[in-house]
Structure 1
Amino acid sequence: MQARHPGYRAYCPPRGGLTDCPIIVGFSIDRTRMIIATEFNMKDFSPDQTIILAKIRHIEELERLSACTVFVETIGLIIHQIQAERGASCLYLASAGQRFGRERSDIIEQNQGLELRFREALQRHLEHDSMVDAKQLTLISWILLGFDQLKALRHQVTLHKISFPDCIQSFNRFVGCLISLIFDITDNAVNSKISTYLLALYNLVQGKEFAGQERAVGSYMFGSGQVQQEHQQKLLELIALQDRHFELFCQFGGHQLQKAWAASMDTSIHQRHRQFRGKLTHAHDGQAVKTHDGDEWFELCSQRLTDIWHLQCQLIKGMHDMLETLAKEAKNDLEKTRQYLQKVRRQPAQSATLDSAFFNLSIPVENAYTFLAHDSQHAYPMESIVSLLQQQSQQIAEIENELAETKQALAERKQIERAKGLLMSKRGISEVEAYKILRSTAMEQNRKIIDVADNILAKQNSLS
């Protein structure tokens, strides 16, 4: 029987993995429609009816986000398991099929159900969001095509009909498409807190992907017995890309995840991993390395990926917990609003004056109906529909203000990526080299990187 590689347990994804999380809001779209049909007079809408409808829509949106979160969680698990298969496949090819054959077979068997999981989560996602746009559906089409052709790729690896670099790039392409879907979902999220969680998750998953590629490239270098400048440069690029995405993960992940990240990086395993990195990155072109060090390198990288995976699970749990809290608050708010309106209706009819009406100019409603932060110096009338509408407008304004920060970060990321791609195309340079140009230019001109990126794209647009 073939011996198990010492790093097998470290890199092999946990069985199950995905938390069994049902849709937590418990407020179905069909029930929403029933409430609208039974409670509301469609021909004679009133302000109190539409404010109730607004709060129901908010609960409905949380239900959509809950299904969306389960979908993203499934995508993250699939990425994790495909990364494990890529690592085993690369070592299998590097050893000409002499090593890691059994481990690779075990992982492929475990991964057989990935497509079904993806399709099931996709169905739930589409059922709860009928407005998924063409861009997201096109990304999903590419992923389904990748699943369709994954069997053929595995067969090529088994028969050694594909080179080591092409094997890496093939798996990288599939994982990259899955990560792009996470980014697109993040870009379309409309809840500020969940959007921030998703942005942290995107950067963690992207950084983890570059860490997985680092494992594969380093394993090949150790397996070949010598350092080649081409692979060494690729390793340096992957390290720089990881640093950038993990920094953004810490920025958006919050204090708890920042502490967890710092703790996970300050262990003997990660210190040893950095020492092995140094052996590869500081070696001369053509310098010999010990082949048997490849086993320890793979095990160290695998443990690092497992640690990042645990952080990913922690982040996902935080997102589920946040959604559960938001859903509970939204349902409580809906019930309180119903009670409040009943109390207002029971009050004696007010005289036909402007004392508490929309046209009383002493009541500052402009900031409310334009969804701006309210002026705290002005007291709002209590126990009136005006007070309720002002409170609702303020809640929406706060959500939009928080969401704007995340949306700005996403928009800046897309602009920087476009500028980086333009530099890569025009100068024939790598991704890391393009980013270095953006960063060094920003430092020289004492400007932000996004400003430099905007300037590059503006110049290109003026020439076209």
Structure 2
Amino acid sequence: MPDRPMPPALHFMLAARRMELCGLEGLAFTCELVTQISQLVHALQRERGYSNLFLGTPDQVHLGQLERLSDQALAIEQAVCARFEAMDLDTSSAVDRARLFTRIAYVLHGLQELPRLRRRIREHRIVALHATAAFTRLIGGLLAVVFEAADTAADPAITRLLVAMFNFMQGKELAGQERATGVAGFLAGYFDNGLRQRFEQLAHAQDRCFETFADFAGSHALAMWQALLAHECTGQVQRLRALASGTHSQAQVDAGLSELWFEITTQRIDMMKAIETHLEQSLLDACQRSIQAARLDLENHRRLVNRLASLDPASDTEQQPQLQPHLPPHLPPHLPPRLFNIQASDLESTLAADTLAPHLGRSVLDLLQAQTQRLAGVTDELEQARQALNDRKVVERAKKWLMDQHQLSEPQAYARLRQAAMDRGQRLVEVAHQLLAQAQPTPRA
């Protein structure tokens, strides 16, 4: 049944609700992409791990498993690429998505290079260190897509889940890098200064990611995480970390520990994957709940608005106001979602100039105020959820500045920031803010 002819104010109210629903449906598509990326990242992490073992041993003992892992990763990769191709690239519906699309372009380029990397690994024409770096760059690009998805989400509950999932995925990726670093050190029989620093930095960086995850995760995900912390494999990892830190050229360990380290850290990462899978499902479930609630809310809103529009606005039929012509059913999709803090007096003065009768105007005003208050609450929740993402951006900018100014590697820049935070008793993001403030050029008088 079509909507009744109604005043423009009511048309715009319904259009706002339709835009919210449309945004949630687009967000659901993005969340499905995120879950597929999560699966691809895990597949690439496993392939990276066995590539290290394959390149680190002279025989072909790990080739069969490596081939199976590559095939699994390829199947997931094709699903992710199909999801990329299904995205709407029309500029009118891509507001504020430039960074997301740029990240996806980087990932697609990396995926095109993957077959060549695999051939070089099979032919032993690349060392484990360089193979690990190539996989890590691609995985980093995929994680950047998840970060941008979280940064563009407009639903507070979904944003919180995306923040939790991104930080958990980042922590799990750092665990994968730690696994590769440990394999290299144990194979060599000891950890030199550079390898030891990298090894320790990866452990500390994991802690930071998992702390943020814990701030935003649901109770069930937290319970799963606590179970992993109490698991035997976590204690074994910590003991092997301590053993690695005590090695040097004059105090070497059996190279066979590399396989033990790989086995234990793989068990830990697989347990992390179970938590990640739970986060994936929680994200998809939250999207569906939000969409169902928005559809129900829109239908209730439409009924209420039609009811308001059908009210007799005046007792004298000769003085009934002429209703405005029916507006187009959809507002221009390029309008960015912005929330203005509208005071009640502003709403009243605006409606006073309309042709609505007093009782109808009052009902519309109540409806507008309720919707404005709801959107204000949504904005506050979004700001809280996005703060963790904003903090990460600041830390990344500070690291880049240090890398550019002092010719440091990313781990070295992070280590310098972390040490400064420990020395000053401040949070990492506070030190990053201070560094960036000092780095700003002083304006000329």
Aligned to 1:66: 28
Matches within 5 A, 1:20-419: 39=3, 46-126=8-88, 130-131=93-94, 133-350=97-314, 365-366=344-345, 384-419=363-398
Task: Name which of structure 1's ranges 145-154 and 186-195 shifts more when overlaid on structure 2.
Answer: 186-195
Conserved 8 A contact 2:165-2:279: yes
Separation of aligned partners in 2, 1:414 and 1:267: 33
**Distance change in 2, residues 1:286/1:190 (3 Å):** farther
Separation of aligned partners in 2, 1:364 and 1:278: 60
Secondary structure at the aligned position of 1:125 is classed as coil
Residue identity in the other structure for 1:278: A
**Distance change in 2, residues 1:121/1:451 (3 Å):** same
**Distance change in 2, residues 1:272/1:447 (3 Å):** closer
Residue identity in the other structure for 1:123: E
Residue identity in the other structure for 1:312: E
Separation of aligned partners in 2, 1:444 and 1:219: 32
Conserved 8 A contact 1:208-1:308: yes
Separation of aligned partners in 2, 1:368 and 1:295: 69
Q: Tell me the CA shift for residue 438 of structure 1.
A: 3.5
Separation of aligned partners in 1, 2:403 and 2:235: 33
Separation of aligned partners in 2, 1:53 and 1:450: 40
Separation of aligned partners in 1, 2:276 and 2:213: 10
Separation of aligned partners in 2, 1:319 and 1:120: 20
**Distance change in 2, residues 1:46/1:136 (3 Å):** same
**Distance change in 2, residues 1:243/1:448 (3 Å):** closer
1:456 to 435, 440, 445: 435
Residue identity in the other structure for 2:23: E
Task: Name which of structure 1's ranges 169-178 and 440-449 shifts more when overlaid on structure 2.
Answer: 440-449
Q: Deviations over 1:417-462 (max 9, x none)?
A: 1112222333344545544544554566565543432232222221
**Distance change in 2, residues 1:460/1:255 (3 Å):** same
Residue identity in the other structure for 2:375: I
Secondary structure at the aligned position of 1:190 is classed as coil
Conserved 8 A contact 1:368-1:394: no
Conserved 8 A contact 2:198-2:411: no
Aligned to 1:374: none
Q: Deviations over 1:127-158 (max 9, x none)?
A: 79930633322222221111111111111111
Q: Tell me the CA shift for residue 293 of structure 1.
A: 2.4
Conserved 8 A contact 2:186-2:254: yes
Aligned to 1:5: none
Separation of aligned partners in 2, 1:367 and 1:263: 54
Structure 1 gaps of 5+ residues are 1-34, 353-362, 370-379
Indicate the RMSD between aligned Cα atoms, in angstroms: 2.9
Task: Name which of structure 1's ranges 149-158 and 324-333 shifts more when overlaid on structure 2.
Answer: 324-333
Separation of aligned partners in 2, 1:410 and 1:76: 18
Conserved 8 A contact 2:190-2:252: yes
Conserved 8 A contact 1:381-1:387: no
Task: Name which of structure 1's ranges 151-160 and 266-275 shifts more when overlaid on structure 2.
Answer: 266-275
Separation of aligned partners in 2, 1:442 and 1:150: 38
Conserved 8 A contact 1:438-1:453: yes
Task: Name which of structure 1's ranges 86-95 and 445-454 shifts more when overlaid on structure 2.
Answer: 445-454
Conserved 8 A contact 2:48-2:132: yes
Conserved 8 A contact 2:4-2:310: no
Q: Tell me the CA shift for residue 64 of structure 1.
A: 0.3
Conserved 8 A contact 1:196-1:253: yes
Aligned to 2:330: none
**Distance change in 2, residues 1:138/1:436 (3 Å):** closer
Residue identity in the other structure for 1:290: D
Separation of aligned partners in 1, 2:270 and 2:403: 33
Aligned residues: 407
Task: Name which of structure 1's ranges 273-282 and 432-441 shifts more when overlaid on structure 2.
Answer: 432-441
Q: TM-score, normalised by structure 2?
A: 0.83
Secondary structure at the aligned position of 2:87 is classed as helix
Task: Name which of structure 1's ranges 133-142 and 424-433 shifts more when overlaid on structure 2.
Answer: 424-433
1:421 to 400, 420, 423: 400
Q: Tell me the CA shift for residue 166 of structure 1.
A: 0.7
**Distance change in 2, residues 1:277/1:445 (3 Å):** closer
Q: Percent identity?
A: 28
Separation of aligned partners in 1, 2:346 and 2:35: 38
Secondary structure at the aligned position of 2:440 is classed as helix
Structure 2 gaps of 5+ residues are 317-341, 349-358
Conserved 8 A contact 2:4-2:306: no
Residue identity in the other structure for 1:301: T
Q: TM-score, normalised by structure 1?
A: 0.80
Q: Tell me the CA shift for residue 40 of structure 1.
A: 8.0
Separation of aligned partners in 2, 1:137 and 1:401: 27
Conserved 8 A contact 2:182-2:261: yes
